[in-house]
Amino acid sequence: MVAFTGLGSLPGTDFAAAARMTFDKVPDLPYLPELPARGPWAAMIGRGLGLPSGLPAELGAGEWRLADAPGADQRRARATWRDDLDQLEEVADGYAGPFKVAVTGPWTLAASLGVAHTGRVLADVGARRDLAQAVAEGVGELLSELARRLPGAGLVLQVDEPSLPAVAAGAVPTPGGFFRHRAVDLPELCRALSWVTGEPARRGLAVPTVLHSCARWDGGWPLRSLLGADATAAGFDGVSVDLDQLGTPDWDALADAADAGATLYLGCLPTAGETHPLGVDAVRRRALAALDRIGAPSDVSDRLVLTPSCGLAGWTPGEVSRGFEVLARVREQVAAELGA
Decide if 277 contacts 329 (C-beta within 8 A).
no
Closest alpha carbon to 1 in 98, 96, 92, 94: 98
List strand residue ranges (DSSP E) for the chain, in order.
3-4, 57-60, 63-66, 97-104, 114-115, 119-120, 153-160, 209-213, 238-242, 263-269, 304-308
Give the whole-number percent of the chain exceeding pLDDT 90: 87
Q: Whole-angstrom Cα distance, residue 296 to residue 100?
A: 24
Taking residue 334's Cβ as centre, other Cβ atoms within 10 Å add up to: 24
Closest alpha carbon to 289 in 320, 238, 254, 328: 254
Q: Whole-angstrom Cα distance, residue 142 to residue 48?
A: 12
pLDDT digits (tens, 9 = 90+) for 68-78: 999 999 999 99
Compute CA 271 distance to the chain's CA centroid, rounded to the nearest angstrom: 15
User: What is the reported pTM?
Assistant: 0.97
Q: What element of type H or E holds 147?
A: helix 125-149
The CA-atom distances, in angstroms, between 228 and each of 193, 232, 305 are: 12, 8, 20
What's residue 340's pLDDT? 64
pLDDT digits (tens, 9 = 90+) for 128-167: 999 999 999 999 999 999 999 999 999 999 999 999 999 9
Radius of gyration of the chain (CA): 19
Q: How confident is the model at residue 299 (pLDDT cuts 50, 70, 90)?
A: confident
Residue 297 has pLDDT above 90, yes or no: no
Arithmetic mean of pLDDT over the chain:
94
Closest alpha carbon to 23 in 121, 80, 93: 93
Taking residue 220's Cβ as centre, other Cβ atoms within 10 Å add up to: 16
Residue 229 has pLDDT above 90, yes or no: no
Residue range 214-230: mean pLDDT, rounded: 93
Residue range 230-247: mean pLDDT, rounded: 95
Residue range 90-112: mean pLDDT, rounded: 97
Residue range 34-57: mean pLDDT, rounded: 94
SS3 at position 122: helix
Residue 245 has pLDDT above 90, yes or no: yes
Residue range 257-284: mean pLDDT, rounded: 94
What's residue 330's pLDDT? 98
Decide if 321 contacts 21 (C-beta within 8 A).
yes
In the chain, domain spans: 39-236
Residue 178 has pLDDT above 80, yes or no: yes
pLDDT digits (tens, 9 = 90+) for 1-14: 899 999 989 999 99
SS3 at position 266: strand
Closest alpha carbon to 239 in 99, 97, 54, 105: 105
